Chain A
């Protein structure tokens, strides 16, 4: 229908060849209006309306080139293109055909026809590009006076920066926005040692003395004499004497520097309150092998080596057996054991004894020589210098392999010397049996080395220091002085020489210090204790000489043990051999009095010097019977030379030499027997008494004189020996041995070991008071007797 309207019916108007039809735009629009949606041009309504031209080309597409039957050319151009080219194509075809048919056809030249300019939008661009004044230009007219023109003018230079605001600049600044802060930087570092050269030069100064040795100027004797007799000295002394005497008297009157406060404090501490008094158990030593069934008879501390203590053991005998001592063959070896603090289980050294040793002592100047007195009356000497080093380094037993010689007489004894055993030291010398005591040697002491006795009995100063002399006493009523020289005796009688050959072969490891006296050792002097007129014999058990002063060579000054007083008072009837003359200075001031304690409990005081030219017939011998039983201790006080402590039986007594009335102090009879006693080494008024119930009674004379100030139980059995010792300023020991063979070492507490300030003076006062009291009592007694 549309085709009919527009005259483009197929195959009628529009053919394949003539496919174009121009349809007027108005017609289309008309059609659109009339037929609205039905119209075929409805979908292209817009295109049609926009079509600028008047005619639209509709092209019949027989070949369905664009998919439809008809297609509408939307634009003029296309229309033109379609119209023309197909025409041209047609024309060309036609031309070609025509050309084929006709040869040439000249196109008529048509001059270009002006077409209306179609704006394609280029005028816009042109407009944009053109420069136009947006702002109207302002006109200025500047005028100046004419005369100023062309006038000379001078120009000056001015720095713009000097004038403020004369210029404005925009300085560059660092914009922080664009700077990157570096937070980490890898840097390489190299260490190079700085080397610097320097030089020094010492100055050579003048030489100076570093040490000077000089000796003091001294006046010769003539000059001294001259001076002494000069007038000037006399005047000087007269003028000076008064001053000096004033000063001396001042000091005598009173001590200006005495600190009363301090003294008060000390008194307080000693009198008030009850300080803890005790004996602290330090160590105890016992040995099962050697000390079985044995009791310790004597204790001796080694004078120089710290912590070494020696005990001698003997068989425990009951009273009856002790009284009738016979030479029993002892199955067990009698020994002296050396103990060390560092090794409580094994004895350090064992000294072999021929018989049981009752008492022994270390030599005062050479602690390697030990002398002991045996039960059978012999005196034995040992020399332990080989083992001194071992003792000094006493630690748990070191392995010592002791070489034993092949030919041994007493092989059985020496087989004991195994490598782990403490070394067994054989005795060096034994006194000859004929000349020694008949009964056991109960006390032995070394005489001080500054005097010695010669055959006369006179005491002489001892020049040589190695000379040794012993004093022994025994209940066979004799006191023997022995001489044990270290070197060979120059004079030896032939009989002695003969005896020497009889000496049996000594084992080679025994030092032959005393070889020349072995078995032929004779005492120097023998003193019989018996009184001529009464014919009583004293059997001394303990002896105390006055002048025995042992100074052991030790580092500490405390070690000057006062020698135990060997008091042997013998009657002046002494048996003496022929005197030998010696050119030594005779000592005048040596006191030769001595005390002796006897078996029966008597204390005898006498003098051993033979009074050749004395007038008195009766020698001054004093005898006191205080104790009921055997005296077991007789000791001088280490502080007072003339105070003696005697212990025996049920009581003890303190004596003062020179006071002949009786003891200064006598204790009451105690329940148990007192078996041992010793003065304390540090406190003048303290002494220790051992009892048979195993107690130690500490007596302090400043506190109580009627009973012990302290009683402490040490062991269960009888105490046999006490020995105090000072090892160091802090350690004061008390060695206590009991009947079971155990050695207890106790540490003395401070209150018992440190004296208070004026204790010495106090004790002295006390003794003097007692003496006065005794005298007073005596006087009263005499007066009473006179009255009757």
Chain B
């Protein structure tokens, strides 16, 4: 229930197009998109997050990745990593 509420709150923000929760192995748990797109996003972003995290830790082992934002022409992908899960939100920034 709390999980639902939190996710609903995030989805209620202006411009949010999709929300995906994936586990540590990159398998989607919860999503608002259709299956094929979700799987694609999950696989790609999972790898990217791993790469980003290893980059940050390589530079400074005490450091860790907290947030990843990818801004593209059409929308912005925001990734919040954690030890076991990953939250991905795709938003259309207001223009």
* A→B interface (CB under 8 Å): 216-219, 224, 227-229, 232-234, 236-241, 243-245, 247-249, 251-252, 255, 257-258
Of B6, B7, B27, B94, the residue contacting A252 (CB under 8 A) is: B94
Of A218, A244, A245, A251, the residue contacting B93 (CB under 8 A) is: A251
Cβ-closest chain B residue relative to A215: B39
Q: Which of A217, A240, A245, A252 has the most CB of B within 10 A?
A: A240
* Cβ–Cβ contact B82 & A217, under 8 A: no
* Cβ–Cβ contact A255 & B94, under 8 A: yes
Tell whether A218 pairs with B28 under 8 Å between CB atoms, given A232-B85, A234-B3, A257-B71. yes
Q: Interface size bucket, B side?
A: 35 or more
Residues of B within 8 Å of A224, CB to CB, are 29-30
CB distance from B2 to the nearest CB of A (A): 6
* Cβ–Cβ contact A247 & B67, under 8 A: yes
* Cβ–Cβ contact A237 & B3, under 8 A: yes
Tell whether A251 pairs with B43 under 8 Å between CB atoms, given A218-B28, A233-B21. no
Tell whether A241 pairs with B85 under 8 Å between CB atoms, given A228-B30, A252-B15, A252-B94. no
* Cβ–Cβ contact A255 & B95, under 8 A: yes
Tell whether A239 pairs with B27 under 8 Å between CB atoms, given A228-B3, A234-B2. no
CB distance from A442 to the nearest CB of B (A): 41
Tell whether A248 pairs with B89 under 8 Å between CB atoms, given A218-B39, A236-B82. yes
Of A232, A249, A251, the residue contacting B76 (CB under 8 A) is: A251
At the interface, yes or no: B34 with Cβ under 8 Å from chain A?
Answer: no
Residues of A within 8 Å of B87, CB to CB, are 236-237, 240, 244
Of B6, B26, B29, B67, the residue contacting A238 (CB under 8 A) is: B6
Q: Which of A228, A251, A258 has the most CB of B within 10 A?
A: A251
| Docked pose: A590 CA to B2 CA in angstroms | 35
CB distance from A227 to the nearest CB of B (A): 5
Residues of B20-38 contacting chain A, CB below 8 A: 21, 23, 25-30, 35
At the interface, yes or no: B52 with Cβ under 8 Å from chain A?
Answer: no
Q: Which of A216, A234, A239 has the most CB of B within 10 A?
A: A216
Residues of B within 8 Å of A252, CB to CB, are 13-15, 93-94
Cβ-closest chain A residue relative to B40: A216
CB distance from A229 to the nearest CB of B (A): 8
Count of inter-chain pairs, beta carbons less than 8 A: 90
Residues of B within 8 Å of A233, CB to CB, are 3, 21, 29, 85
Main secondary structure of the interface of A (DSSP, over half): helix
* Cβ–Cβ contact B85 & A236, under 8 A: yes
Of A217, A238, A249, A255, the residue contacting B25 (CB under 8 A) is: A217
| Docked pose: A249 CA to B94 CA in angstroms | 11
| Docked pose: A216 CA to B80 CA in angstroms | 22
Tell whether A219 pairs with B85 under 8 Å between CB atoms, given A248-B13, A251-B15, A252-B15. no
CB distance from B57 to the nearest CB of A (A): 19
CB distance from B82 to the nearest CB of A (A): 5
Residues of A within 8 Å of B14, CB to CB, are 248, 252
Residues of B within 8 Å of A229, CB to CB, are 3
Residues of A within 8 Å of B26, CB to CB, are 217
* Cβ–Cβ contact A237 & B89, under 8 A: no
Q: CB-CB contacts of B60-76 with A at 8 A, as 1s and 0s?
A: 00000011010100001
CB distance from B25 to the nearest CB of A (A): 7
Residues of B within 8 Å of A257, CB to CB, are 71
15 A–B contacts, CB within 8 A, in A order: A216-B42, A228-B3, A232-B84, A233-B29, A237-B21, A237-B87, A239-B82, A240-B82, A240-B85, A247-B67, A248-B89, A249-B13, A251-B76, A251-B93, A258-B95
Residues of B within 8 Å of A232, CB to CB, are 84-85
* Cβ–Cβ contact B16 & A248, under 8 A: yes
| Docked pose: A680 CA to B48 CA in angstroms | 43
Residues of A within 8 Å of B50, CB to CB, are none
* Cβ–Cβ contact B76 & A243, under 8 A: no
CB distance from B1 to the nearest CB of A (A): 9
Cβ-closest chain B residue relative to A214: B43
Cβ-closest chain B residue relative to A224: B29
CB distance from A213 to the nearest CB of B (A): 14
Cβ-closest chain A residue relative to B94: A252
Residues of B within 8 Å of A234, CB to CB, are 2-3
Residues of A within 8 Å of B71, CB to CB, are 257
Cβ-closest chain B residue relative to A232: B84
* Cβ–Cβ contact A237 & B7, under 8 A: yes
| Docked pose: A248 CA to B78 CA in angstroms | 9
